[in-house]
A and B are shown apart, each in its own frame.
Chain A
Amino acid sequence: MLDDFFIRALVAGLGIAFVTGPLGCFVIWRRLSYFGDTLAHSALLGVTLAYTLEFNIALSVFIISSLIALILIQLQKRTNLPGDALLGLLAHSSLAVGLVVIGFLTFIRFDIMGLLFGDILAVTTEDLLIIWIGGPLILLILKLIWKPLFASTVNYELAEAEGLNPDRAKAIFTILMAGIIAISIKMVGLLLITGMLIIPAAMARNISSSPQSMVIYSVLGGLLSVILGLFTSLQFNTSSGPSIIAASLFLFILSLVKIKQSIKLKN
Protein backbone atom coordinates (compact mmCIF):
# COMPACT_ATOMS: atom_id res chain seq x y z
CA MET A 1 0.00 0.00 0.00
CA LEU A 2 2.90 2.32 0.79
CA ASP A 3 3.88 1.98 -2.86
CA ASP A 4 1.24 4.48 -3.80
CA PHE A 5 2.77 7.97 -3.79
CA PHE A 6 -0.43 9.49 -2.48
CA ILE A 7 -0.68 7.15 0.49
CA ARG A 8 2.97 7.84 1.27
CA ALA A 9 2.33 11.57 1.18
CA LEU A 10 -0.71 11.19 3.41
CA VAL A 11 1.13 9.09 5.98
CA ALA A 12 4.04 11.55 5.92
CA GLY A 13 1.78 14.59 6.25
CA LEU A 14 -0.17 13.16 9.16
CA GLY A 15 3.07 12.29 10.94
CA ILE A 16 4.25 15.87 10.49
CA ALA A 17 0.94 17.34 11.70
CA PHE A 18 1.20 15.46 15.00
CA VAL A 19 4.49 17.26 15.67
CA THR A 20 3.75 20.71 14.25
CA GLY A 21 0.60 20.96 16.41
CA PRO A 22 2.28 21.22 19.84
CA LEU A 23 5.45 22.93 18.52
CA GLY A 24 3.30 25.48 16.70
CA CYS A 25 1.57 26.40 19.95
CA PHE A 26 4.94 27.24 21.47
CA VAL A 27 5.91 29.19 18.34
CA ILE A 28 2.81 31.36 18.86
CA TRP A 29 3.15 31.63 22.64
CA ARG A 30 6.83 32.53 22.49
CA ARG A 31 6.39 34.77 19.41
CA LEU A 32 8.83 32.76 17.35
CA SER A 33 7.16 32.73 13.93
CA TYR A 34 9.93 34.77 12.34
CA PHE A 35 12.50 32.57 14.04
CA GLY A 36 10.84 29.55 12.44
CA ASP A 37 11.03 31.30 9.08
CA THR A 38 14.74 31.93 9.52
CA LEU A 39 15.44 28.28 10.29
CA ALA A 40 13.34 27.23 7.31
CA HIS A 41 15.14 29.59 4.92
CA SER A 42 18.47 28.26 6.08
CA ALA A 43 17.21 24.80 5.22
CA LEU A 44 17.86 25.51 1.52
CA LEU A 45 21.55 25.64 2.30
CA GLY A 46 21.14 22.29 4.06
CA VAL A 47 19.46 20.81 0.98
CA THR A 48 22.17 21.99 -1.41
CA LEU A 49 24.86 20.61 0.87
CA ALA A 50 23.02 17.30 0.98
CA TYR A 51 23.05 17.13 -2.83
CA THR A 52 26.69 18.20 -3.08
CA LEU A 53 27.96 15.71 -0.53
CA GLU A 54 25.37 13.03 -1.36
CA PHE A 55 24.10 13.13 2.16
CA ASN A 56 20.66 12.53 3.70
CA ILE A 57 18.57 15.69 3.20
CA ALA A 58 16.76 15.62 6.55
CA LEU A 59 19.99 15.15 8.49
CA SER A 60 21.79 17.84 6.53
CA VAL A 61 18.92 20.34 7.00
CA PHE A 62 18.80 19.51 10.71
CA ILE A 63 22.52 20.22 11.13
CA ILE A 64 22.45 23.50 9.16
CA SER A 65 19.31 24.76 10.93
CA SER A 66 20.76 23.96 14.35
CA LEU A 67 23.94 25.74 13.33
CA ILE A 68 22.01 28.85 12.25
CA ALA A 69 20.14 28.81 15.57
CA LEU A 70 23.46 28.67 17.44
CA ILE A 71 24.86 31.54 15.37
CA LEU A 72 21.73 33.55 16.13
CA ILE A 73 22.15 33.04 19.89
CA GLN A 74 25.79 34.15 19.65
CA LEU A 75 24.90 37.22 17.56
CA GLN A 76 22.24 38.18 20.09
CA LYS A 77 24.85 38.12 22.82
CA ARG A 78 27.54 39.97 20.90
CA THR A 79 25.76 42.68 18.96
CA ASN A 80 23.32 45.42 19.85
CA LEU A 81 21.13 44.76 16.82
CA PRO A 82 17.48 44.03 17.55
CA GLY A 83 16.33 40.40 17.31
CA ASP A 84 14.21 40.85 14.18
CA ALA A 85 17.10 42.46 12.28
CA LEU A 86 19.37 39.53 13.17
CA LEU A 87 16.68 37.06 12.10
CA GLY A 88 16.25 38.86 8.79
CA LEU A 89 19.98 38.94 8.26
CA LEU A 90 20.34 35.21 8.83
CA ALA A 91 17.18 34.23 6.94
CA HIS A 92 17.96 36.09 3.76
CA SER A 93 21.69 35.57 3.72
CA SER A 94 21.37 31.82 4.22
CA LEU A 95 18.66 31.68 1.54
CA ALA A 96 20.87 33.70 -0.80
CA VAL A 97 23.94 31.59 -0.16
CA GLY A 98 21.86 28.48 -0.71
CA LEU A 99 20.62 29.76 -4.08
CA VAL A 100 24.13 30.83 -5.12
CA VAL A 101 25.45 27.37 -4.31
CA ILE A 102 22.63 25.85 -6.39
CA GLY A 103 23.82 28.01 -9.30
CA PHE A 104 27.22 26.33 -9.11
CA LEU A 105 25.76 22.84 -9.02
CA THR A 106 25.04 22.72 -12.74
CA PHE A 107 25.52 18.97 -12.83
CA ILE A 108 22.40 18.39 -10.75
CA ARG A 109 18.91 19.25 -11.94
CA PHE A 110 17.04 20.95 -9.13
CA ASP A 111 13.33 21.10 -8.72
CA ILE A 112 13.35 24.53 -7.08
CA MET A 113 9.57 24.74 -6.98
CA GLY A 114 9.41 21.42 -5.16
CA LEU A 115 12.01 22.59 -2.71
CA LEU A 116 10.25 25.85 -1.95
CA PHE A 117 6.66 24.63 -1.92
CA GLY A 118 6.80 20.90 -1.26
CA ASP A 119 6.20 17.97 -3.55
CA ILE A 120 4.09 14.97 -2.67
CA LEU A 121 5.71 12.97 -5.42
CA ALA A 122 9.05 13.31 -3.67
CA VAL A 123 8.13 11.45 -0.49
CA THR A 124 10.00 8.15 -0.32
CA THR A 125 9.65 5.23 2.08
CA GLU A 126 12.88 6.38 3.69
CA ASP A 127 11.29 9.79 4.34
CA LEU A 128 8.36 8.05 6.03
CA LEU A 129 10.77 6.24 8.29
CA ILE A 130 12.50 9.50 9.23
CA ILE A 131 9.17 11.24 9.92
CA TRP A 132 7.71 8.41 11.98
CA ILE A 133 10.87 7.92 14.04
CA GLY A 134 11.93 11.55 14.28
CA GLY A 135 8.41 12.86 14.92
CA PRO A 136 7.61 10.76 18.01
CA LEU A 137 11.14 11.45 19.27
CA ILE A 138 10.54 15.22 19.02
CA LEU A 139 7.19 14.82 20.81
CA LEU A 140 8.75 12.74 23.56
CA ILE A 141 11.49 15.31 24.20
CA LEU A 142 8.92 18.10 24.11
CA LYS A 143 6.89 16.27 26.74
CA LEU A 144 9.98 15.93 28.94
CA ILE A 145 10.79 19.66 28.78
CA TRP A 146 7.15 20.79 28.80
CA LYS A 147 7.12 22.02 32.40
CA PRO A 148 10.19 24.28 32.31
CA LEU A 149 9.48 25.40 28.74
CA PHE A 150 5.88 26.29 29.44
CA ALA A 151 6.67 27.92 32.79
CA SER A 152 9.36 30.09 31.24
CA THR A 153 7.02 30.96 28.38
CA VAL A 154 4.57 32.33 30.93
CA ASN A 155 7.28 34.03 32.98
CA TYR A 156 11.00 33.50 32.71
CA GLU A 157 11.92 34.79 36.15
CA LEU A 158 9.36 32.62 37.95
CA ALA A 159 10.72 29.53 36.21
CA GLU A 160 14.31 30.48 36.95
CA ALA A 161 13.61 31.40 40.59
CA GLU A 162 11.77 28.17 41.26
CA GLY A 163 14.59 26.05 39.89
CA LEU A 164 13.29 24.89 36.49
CA ASN A 165 16.33 25.78 34.35
CA PRO A 166 14.51 27.62 31.53
CA ASP A 167 17.68 28.27 29.50
CA ARG A 168 18.26 24.58 28.97
CA ALA A 169 14.61 24.05 27.99
CA LYS A 170 14.88 26.91 25.47
CA ALA A 171 18.03 25.48 23.91
CA ILE A 172 16.43 22.04 23.56
CA PHE A 173 13.31 23.60 22.06
CA THR A 174 15.43 25.35 19.42
CA ILE A 175 16.88 22.01 18.40
CA LEU A 176 13.40 20.50 18.20
CA MET A 177 12.43 23.33 15.84
CA ALA A 178 15.37 22.47 13.61
CA GLY A 179 14.21 18.85 13.79
CA ILE A 180 10.64 19.48 12.62
CA ILE A 181 11.87 21.66 9.76
CA ALA A 182 14.26 18.92 8.71
CA ILE A 183 11.60 16.23 8.59
CA SER A 184 8.88 18.32 6.96
CA ILE A 185 10.83 20.20 4.30
CA LYS A 186 10.14 17.78 1.43
CA MET A 187 6.46 17.71 2.12
CA VAL A 188 5.61 21.33 2.90
CA GLY A 189 8.52 23.17 1.30
CA LEU A 190 10.82 25.60 3.00
CA LEU A 191 8.78 28.74 2.34
CA LEU A 192 5.67 27.33 3.97
CA ILE A 193 6.86 25.34 6.99
CA THR A 194 6.22 28.22 9.37
CA GLY A 195 2.66 28.37 8.07
CA MET A 196 2.21 24.71 8.96
CA LEU A 197 3.48 25.54 12.45
CA ILE A 198 1.46 28.65 13.20
CA ILE A 199 -1.81 28.54 11.26
CA PRO A 200 -3.33 25.43 12.91
CA ALA A 201 -2.09 26.73 16.30
CA ALA A 202 -3.63 30.15 15.60
CA MET A 203 -6.88 28.45 14.68
CA ALA A 204 -6.69 26.49 17.94
CA ARG A 205 -6.11 29.67 19.97
CA ASN A 206 -9.42 31.00 18.73
CA ILE A 207 -11.40 28.10 20.13
CA SER A 208 -9.53 27.00 23.26
CA SER A 209 -9.44 28.15 26.85
CA SER A 210 -6.47 26.22 28.25
CA PRO A 211 -2.99 25.40 26.98
CA GLN A 212 -3.80 21.68 26.79
CA SER A 213 -6.92 22.17 24.71
CA MET A 214 -5.02 24.51 22.39
CA VAL A 215 -2.42 21.80 21.75
CA ILE A 216 -5.13 19.23 21.02
CA TYR A 217 -7.07 21.50 18.64
CA SER A 218 -3.81 22.49 16.98
CA VAL A 219 -2.97 18.85 16.26
CA LEU A 220 -6.50 18.15 15.00
CA GLY A 221 -6.38 21.24 12.81
CA GLY A 222 -3.04 20.17 11.35
CA LEU A 223 -4.27 16.63 10.61
CA LEU A 224 -7.39 17.95 8.92
CA SER A 225 -5.37 20.47 6.90
CA VAL A 226 -3.08 17.72 5.63
CA ILE A 227 -6.01 15.51 4.58
CA LEU A 228 -7.92 18.34 2.92
CA GLY A 229 -4.80 19.81 1.36
CA LEU A 230 -3.47 16.58 -0.08
CA PHE A 231 -6.77 15.57 -1.65
CA THR A 232 -6.97 19.03 -3.22
CA SER A 233 -3.39 18.67 -4.38
CA LEU A 234 -4.22 15.34 -6.03
CA GLN A 235 -7.44 16.61 -7.53
CA PHE A 236 -6.13 19.85 -9.04
CA ASN A 237 -2.46 18.93 -9.45
CA THR A 238 -1.28 21.73 -7.17
CA SER A 239 1.87 21.76 -5.01
CA SER A 240 1.33 19.94 -1.73
CA GLY A 241 2.65 22.71 0.55
CA PRO A 242 0.38 25.53 -0.62
CA SER A 243 -2.61 23.17 -0.71
CA ILE A 244 -2.09 22.13 2.92
CA ILE A 245 -1.51 25.71 4.09
CA ALA A 246 -4.57 26.96 2.19
CA ALA A 247 -6.64 24.24 3.86
CA SER A 248 -5.37 25.34 7.28
CA LEU A 249 -6.24 28.94 6.41
CA PHE A 250 -9.75 27.74 5.58
CA LEU A 251 -10.00 26.14 9.05
CA PHE A 252 -8.66 29.31 10.65
CA ILE A 253 -11.41 31.35 8.99
CA LEU A 254 -14.00 28.85 10.22
CA SER A 255 -12.68 29.30 13.77
CA LEU A 256 -13.20 33.05 13.44
CA VAL A 257 -16.83 32.44 12.61
CA LYS A 258 -17.13 30.47 15.82
CA ILE A 259 -15.71 33.37 17.81
CA LYS A 260 -18.26 35.74 16.28
CA GLN A 261 -21.05 33.41 17.28
CA SER A 262 -19.89 33.11 20.88
CA ILE A 263 -19.62 36.89 21.15
CA LYS A 264 -23.18 37.16 19.88
CA LEU A 265 -24.31 34.62 22.46
CA LYS A 266 -22.64 36.55 25.27
CA ASN A 267 -24.50 39.69 24.35
Chain B
Amino acid sequence: MSLNQNILVKLKQAGFRINGKWLVKGVSLEIEKGKIVTLIGPNGSGKSTTAKIALGIYKKIDGEVEKYTNKVGYVPQKISIDWTLPLRVNDFMVLTENLKDEAINEALSLTGVIHLKDKNLGDLSGGEFQRVLLARAISKKPDLLVLDEPVQGVDFTGEIALYELIKKISDELNCGILLISHDLHTVMSATDHVVCLNGHVCCSGSPIDVAKNNEYKALFGEQASQILTRYKHSHDHIHTNEGEIKKN
Protein backbone atom coordinates (compact mmCIF):
# COMPACT_ATOMS: atom_id res chain seq x y z
CA MET B 1 0.00 0.00 0.00
CA SER B 2 1.23 3.43 -0.78
CA LEU B 3 1.93 5.75 2.12
CA ASN B 4 -0.04 8.50 0.51
CA GLN B 5 -3.64 7.47 -0.11
CA ASN B 6 -4.10 10.30 -2.57
CA ILE B 7 -1.68 8.90 -5.10
CA LEU B 8 -3.30 7.78 -8.36
CA VAL B 9 -0.27 6.87 -10.44
CA LYS B 10 3.35 6.54 -9.51
CA LEU B 11 6.25 6.14 -11.95
CA LYS B 12 9.52 4.84 -10.54
CA GLN B 13 12.54 5.25 -12.82
CA ALA B 14 10.28 4.40 -15.73
CA GLY B 15 11.67 4.24 -19.26
CA PHE B 16 10.68 2.93 -22.68
CA ARG B 17 12.76 1.99 -25.68
CA ILE B 18 12.02 0.85 -29.21
CA ASN B 19 14.69 -1.16 -31.05
CA GLY B 20 17.29 -0.24 -28.45
CA LYS B 21 16.66 3.47 -28.73
CA TRP B 22 15.39 5.13 -25.59
CA LEU B 23 12.37 7.35 -26.07
CA VAL B 24 12.51 8.34 -22.45
CA LYS B 25 14.23 6.95 -19.38
CA GLY B 26 14.50 7.35 -15.65
CA VAL B 27 11.23 9.18 -15.12
CA SER B 28 9.87 9.28 -11.60
CA LEU B 29 6.73 11.16 -10.81
CA GLU B 30 3.52 10.96 -8.84
CA ILE B 31 0.06 12.17 -9.68
CA GLU B 32 -2.19 12.89 -6.73
CA LYS B 33 -5.90 13.55 -6.46
CA GLY B 34 -6.77 17.18 -7.10
CA LYS B 35 -3.29 18.04 -8.38
CA ILE B 36 -2.13 19.03 -11.84
CA VAL B 37 1.23 17.67 -12.95
CA THR B 38 2.54 19.13 -16.19
CA LEU B 39 5.12 17.70 -18.53
CA ILE B 40 7.08 20.20 -20.59
CA GLY B 41 9.98 19.73 -22.94
CA PRO B 42 10.99 20.14 -26.57
CA ASN B 43 9.66 17.96 -29.42
CA GLY B 44 10.80 14.38 -29.10
CA SER B 45 11.65 14.75 -25.44
CA GLY B 46 9.37 11.89 -24.38
CA LYS B 47 6.34 13.71 -23.05
CA SER B 48 3.71 11.64 -24.85
CA THR B 49 5.73 8.49 -24.20
CA THR B 50 5.74 9.26 -20.48
CA ALA B 51 1.98 9.77 -20.58
CA LYS B 52 1.53 6.43 -22.35
CA ILE B 53 3.72 4.71 -19.76
CA ALA B 54 1.56 6.18 -17.01
CA LEU B 55 -1.59 5.03 -18.82
CA GLY B 56 -0.32 1.50 -19.30
CA ILE B 57 -0.45 1.66 -23.11
CA TYR B 58 3.22 0.71 -23.25
CA LYS B 59 3.68 -2.52 -21.38
CA LYS B 60 7.27 -3.58 -21.89
CA ILE B 61 8.85 -0.79 -19.92
CA ASP B 62 11.85 -0.37 -17.69
CA GLY B 63 11.24 0.65 -14.12
CA GLU B 64 7.85 0.51 -12.48
CA VAL B 65 4.40 1.98 -12.80
CA GLU B 66 1.93 1.72 -9.97
CA LYS B 67 -1.62 2.60 -10.94
CA TYR B 68 -4.24 2.93 -8.25
CA THR B 69 -7.26 3.76 -10.38
CA ASN B 70 -9.06 2.43 -13.43
CA LYS B 71 -11.27 5.45 -13.97
CA VAL B 72 -9.19 7.20 -16.56
CA GLY B 73 -9.98 9.86 -19.16
CA TYR B 74 -7.46 10.29 -21.95
CA VAL B 75 -7.06 12.95 -24.60
CA PRO B 76 -4.32 11.69 -26.93
CA GLN B 77 -2.07 14.04 -28.85
CA LYS B 78 -2.79 12.40 -32.16
CA ILE B 79 -5.88 10.44 -32.95
CA SER B 80 -6.60 9.04 -36.35
CA ILE B 81 -10.14 7.89 -36.78
CA ASP B 82 -11.05 5.78 -39.72
CA TRP B 83 -13.91 7.36 -41.62
CA THR B 84 -15.21 3.99 -42.75
CA LEU B 85 -16.99 4.24 -39.40
CA PRO B 86 -20.25 6.13 -39.37
CA LEU B 87 -19.67 7.88 -36.06
CA ARG B 88 -21.51 10.85 -34.61
CA VAL B 89 -20.28 12.94 -31.70
CA ASN B 90 -22.94 11.29 -29.57
CA ASP B 91 -21.63 7.79 -30.41
CA PHE B 92 -18.09 8.90 -29.70
CA MET B 93 -19.03 10.21 -26.25
CA VAL B 94 -20.12 6.74 -25.08
CA LEU B 95 -17.15 4.98 -26.64
CA THR B 96 -15.60 3.59 -23.48
CA GLU B 97 -18.41 4.03 -20.97
CA ASN B 98 -22.19 4.07 -21.05
CA LEU B 99 -23.28 7.53 -20.03
CA LYS B 100 -26.63 9.09 -19.29
CA ASP B 101 -27.77 11.74 -21.74
CA GLU B 102 -27.46 14.43 -19.05
CA ALA B 103 -23.80 13.57 -18.47
CA ILE B 104 -23.12 13.77 -22.21
CA ASN B 105 -24.92 17.09 -22.54
CA GLU B 106 -23.18 18.54 -19.50
CA ALA B 107 -19.70 17.67 -20.75
CA LEU B 108 -20.40 18.91 -24.28
CA SER B 109 -21.80 22.17 -22.85
CA LEU B 110 -18.74 22.68 -20.66
CA THR B 111 -16.41 22.51 -23.66
CA GLY B 112 -18.81 24.56 -25.79
CA VAL B 113 -19.76 22.02 -28.43
CA ILE B 114 -23.25 20.90 -27.39
CA HIS B 115 -24.60 22.10 -30.76
CA LEU B 116 -22.45 19.48 -32.52
CA LYS B 117 -23.93 16.49 -30.69
CA ASP B 118 -25.61 14.90 -33.72
CA LYS B 119 -22.94 15.84 -36.21
CA ASN B 120 -20.74 13.30 -37.90
CA LEU B 121 -17.33 13.19 -36.26
CA GLY B 122 -15.63 13.45 -39.65
CA ASP B 123 -17.33 16.78 -40.37
CA LEU B 124 -15.82 18.62 -37.39
CA SER B 125 -12.99 21.11 -37.63
CA GLY B 126 -9.74 20.41 -35.78
CA GLY B 127 -10.61 22.73 -32.90
CA GLU B 128 -14.15 21.41 -32.62
CA PHE B 129 -12.88 17.84 -32.58
CA GLN B 130 -10.39 18.75 -29.85
CA ARG B 131 -13.24 20.11 -27.73
CA VAL B 132 -15.21 16.90 -28.27
CA LEU B 133 -12.16 14.85 -27.24
CA LEU B 134 -11.88 16.84 -24.03
CA ALA B 135 -15.62 16.56 -23.38
CA ARG B 136 -15.45 12.78 -23.81
CA ALA B 137 -12.55 12.51 -21.37
CA ILE B 138 -14.25 14.54 -18.62
CA SER B 139 -17.78 13.19 -19.14
CA LYS B 140 -17.05 9.93 -17.34
CA LYS B 141 -15.88 11.87 -14.28
CA PRO B 142 -12.53 10.11 -14.09
CA ASP B 143 -10.12 9.93 -11.16
CA LEU B 144 -7.23 10.50 -13.51
CA LEU B 145 -7.21 12.73 -16.56
CA VAL B 146 -4.34 12.52 -19.00
CA LEU B 147 -4.38 15.44 -21.40
CA ASP B 148 -1.79 15.41 -24.18
CA GLU B 149 -1.86 18.90 -25.65
CA PRO B 150 -5.61 19.16 -25.14
CA VAL B 151 -6.11 22.58 -26.71
CA GLN B 152 -4.16 22.16 -29.95
CA GLY B 153 -5.95 23.86 -32.80
CA VAL B 154 -8.39 25.63 -30.50
CA ASP B 155 -8.83 29.38 -31.06
CA PHE B 156 -7.12 31.85 -28.72
CA THR B 157 -10.05 32.74 -26.48
CA GLY B 158 -11.17 29.11 -26.43
CA GLU B 159 -7.71 28.04 -25.33
CA ILE B 160 -7.83 30.24 -22.22
CA ALA B 161 -11.37 29.12 -21.41
CA LEU B 162 -10.45 25.43 -21.78
CA TYR B 163 -7.42 25.76 -19.51
CA GLU B 164 -9.65 27.44 -16.94
CA LEU B 165 -12.09 24.57 -17.38
CA ILE B 166 -9.32 22.02 -16.81
CA LYS B 167 -8.34 23.78 -13.59
CA LYS B 168 -11.98 23.86 -12.51
CA ILE B 169 -12.44 20.16 -13.28
CA SER B 170 -9.43 19.28 -11.20
CA ASP B 171 -10.91 21.19 -8.26
CA GLU B 172 -14.50 19.99 -8.66
CA LEU B 173 -13.91 16.32 -9.40
CA ASN B 174 -10.82 16.23 -7.21
CA CYS B 175 -9.18 14.24 -9.97
CA GLY B 176 -5.50 14.12 -10.74
CA ILE B 177 -4.40 15.57 -14.06
CA LEU B 178 -1.34 14.80 -16.11
CA LEU B 179 -1.08 17.63 -18.59
CA ILE B 180 1.24 18.00 -21.54
CA SER B 181 1.43 21.51 -22.81
CA HIS B 182 3.58 23.83 -24.85
CA ASP B 183 1.97 26.92 -23.39
CA LEU B 184 4.46 27.89 -20.72
CA HIS B 185 2.34 30.75 -19.43
CA THR B 186 -0.49 28.39 -18.62
CA VAL B 187 1.84 25.75 -17.28
CA MET B 188 3.48 28.16 -14.93
CA SER B 189 0.28 29.69 -13.65
CA ALA B 190 -2.10 26.76 -13.25
CA THR B 191 0.09 23.82 -12.36
CA ASP B 192 1.05 22.27 -9.04
CA HIS B 193 4.07 20.37 -10.23
CA VAL B 194 6.16 20.70 -13.38
CA VAL B 195 8.35 17.99 -14.84
CA CYS B 196 10.75 19.18 -17.49
CA LEU B 197 11.73 16.37 -19.85
CA ASN B 198 14.41 15.96 -22.45
CA GLY B 199 14.71 12.21 -22.83
CA HIS B 200 15.09 12.13 -19.07
CA VAL B 201 13.89 14.36 -16.25
CA CYS B 202 15.89 17.57 -16.57
CA CYS B 203 14.32 19.14 -13.57
CA SER B 204 11.09 19.07 -11.68
CA GLY B 205 9.33 20.84 -8.89
CA SER B 206 6.94 23.73 -8.41
CA PRO B 207 6.63 26.08 -11.38
CA ILE B 208 8.78 28.68 -9.63
CA ASP B 209 11.55 26.20 -8.87
CA VAL B 210 11.57 24.91 -12.42
CA ALA B 211 11.62 28.37 -13.95
CA LYS B 212 14.73 29.13 -11.91
CA ASN B 213 16.46 25.98 -13.06
CA ASN B 214 19.40 26.15 -15.45
CA GLU B 215 18.37 23.25 -17.58
CA TYR B 216 14.91 24.60 -18.06
CA LYS B 217 16.41 27.80 -19.34
CA ALA B 218 18.85 25.99 -21.58
CA LEU B 219 15.93 24.15 -23.12
CA PHE B 220 13.45 26.92 -23.47
CA GLY B 221 15.64 30.00 -23.64
CA GLU B 222 15.90 33.18 -21.63
CA GLN B 223 12.48 34.48 -22.49
CA ALA B 224 10.71 31.43 -21.19
CA SER B 225 12.42 31.65 -17.87
CA GLN B 226 11.53 35.29 -17.56
CA ILE B 227 7.90 34.30 -17.36
CA LEU B 228 8.50 33.82 -13.68
CA THR B 229 12.05 34.63 -12.88
CA ARG B 230 15.29 36.23 -14.09
CA TYR B 231 18.10 33.79 -13.60
CA LYS B 232 20.99 32.97 -15.91
CA HIS B 233 23.08 29.98 -16.77
CA SER B 234 23.92 27.42 -19.39
CA HIS B 235 23.29 23.83 -20.33
CA ASP B 236 25.92 21.61 -18.71
CA HIS B 237 25.37 18.42 -20.66
CA ILE B 238 24.50 17.12 -24.09
CA HIS B 239 22.18 14.32 -25.21
CA THR B 240 23.30 11.58 -27.52
CA ASN B 241 20.94 9.79 -29.88
CA GLU B 242 20.79 6.76 -27.62
CA GLY B 243 19.41 8.91 -24.84
CA GLU B 244 22.65 8.96 -22.88
CA ILE B 245 23.67 12.12 -21.09
CA LYS B 246 27.20 13.39 -21.40
CA LYS B 247 28.65 16.15 -19.28
CA ASN B 248 30.30 18.93 -21.23
Contacts and interface: CB of A to CB of B under 8 A. Distances in A.
Interface string B149-172: 000000000000000000000000
A153 B87 CA distance: 12
A210 B88 contact: yes
Contacts of A162: 72-74, 96-97
B63 interface: no
Interface stretch (B32-40, B50-58, B213-221): B50-58
Nearest to A28: B84
A163 B70 contact: yes
Nearest to B75: A158
A205 B81 CA distance: 16
A136 interface: no
A39 B90 CA distance: 35
A92 interface: no
Contacts of B91: 210-212
A197 B87 CA distance: 20
Nearest to A159: B96
A123 to B, nearest CB: 33
B interface, size bucket: 20 to 34
B26 interface: no
A interface, size bucket: 20 to 34
Interface in A194-222: 205, 208-214
Contacts of A160: 55-57
A31 interface: yes
B177 to A, nearest CB: 14
B85 A211 contact: yes
Interface in A205-258: 205, 208-214
Contacts of B96: 147, 151, 158-159, 162, 164
A25 to B, nearest CB: 9
Interface of A: 28-29, 31, 147, 150-151, 153-155, 157-164, 205, 208-214
Interface of B: 52, 55-57, 70, 72-74, 76, 79-82, 84-88, 90-92, 95-98, 120, 146
Give the top 7 A-B pairs by smallest Cβ distance, nearest first: A161-B55, A161-B74, A162-B96, A163-B70, A151-B95, A160-B57, A151-B96
11 contacts: A29-B82, A151-B96, A155-B79, A162-B96, A209-B88, A209-B120, A210-B91, A211-B85, A211-B87, A211-B91, A213-B86
